[in-house]
Copies of this chain bind each other. A is one copy, B any other.
């Protein structure tokens, strides 16, 4: 087993299985063929052709698009076709920082293959023997990746909340961390990937943060999403990532990025170039 296996697991998808999801002549996602067929039932919202699934041009503003798509999604949900409804709005946009073209229910984002954003926190502790990382065990009743190992705090990026604010909120909910400590987290870059998963096509951009956690801090979950926490020496974390899939798939990538940035992996490792290149999609990978 190798770190490259973890990267490969975040890369598998088959373009022929999808049709581009187009708004205003821009590709914003990818819709699988079964959902494409279903969307022909809603011709006032979706213009389905052999080449693309487009929002009809009459839906030209943020509110119009959001409301029209939401109406379709609610009907699909009521028909049992959208599992794990979250009641959380995700922005749909071409580049982070753009005004969103619409928002979409979180559970539908992978169904339409639209890009989703998230925050992940590497909560680390410096010790005499090197770095350790706080590791969470996800609750067994989580909808996705139950029982897998996770970051101290992480979460999706909803519409209308700043990225740092979202991180502070997740730190409070998932790890019981005070806002003034969470605010010390440093943004350190991005990990991104696109892959087919059970929930659909994940096209994710993760904003990564590092936090030098004081030795006296003890995390305490407040939202029931975490079963337990443990502080692991970084070598144990990396061996676990290398040897299997006990860590949630995308958490492995963010921790590999941490190991690269902190010089735990270096260019005299023959896989270094491929590992580093595998942590982000190309800028123009639309």
Chain A contacts to B: CB under 8 angstroms: 95-98, 162-164, 186-190, 192, 205, 207, 260-263, 265-274, 276-278, 280-283, 285
Contacts and interface: CB of A to CB of B under 8 A. Distances in A.
A273 B163 contact: no
A268 B162 contact: yes
A218 to B, nearest CB: 25
A266 B192 contact: no
A219 to B, nearest CB: 22
Given A262-B186, A263-B187, A267-B96, A283 B272 contact: no
Nearest to A205: B273
Given A97-B271, A97-B272, A282-B285, 15 more contacts: A95-B273, A95-B274, A96-B267, A96-B270, A96-B272, A97-B269, A98-B270, A164-B267, A186-B263, A187-B266, A189-B261, A205-B273, A276-B280, A278-B283, A280-B280
B162 A260 contact: no
Contacts of A96: 267, 270, 272-273
Nearest to A271: B97
A114 to B, nearest CB: 15
A267 B186 contact: no
Copies in the complex: 2
Contacts of A262: 186, 188
Chain B CB within 10 Å, residue with most, of A96, A207, A270: A96
Contacts of A164: 266-268
Contacts of A266: 163-164, 187
Contacts of A281: 277, 282
A274 B266 CA distance: 25
Given A262-B186, A272-B96, A274-B283, A267 B192 contact: no
A272 B285 CA distance: 16
17 contacts: A95-B273, A96-B267, A96-B272, A98-B270, A162-B268, A164-B267, A186-B263, A187-B267, A188-B262, A189-B276, A190-B267, A190-B272, A190-B273, A190-B277, A278-B283, A280-B280, A282-B285
Contacts of A265: 187
Nearest to A188: B261
Contacts of A188: 260-263
A98 B97 CA distance: 39
A109 to B, nearest CB: 17
A268 to B, nearest CB: 6
A274 B192 CA distance: 12
Contacts of A98: 270
Nearest to A157: B267
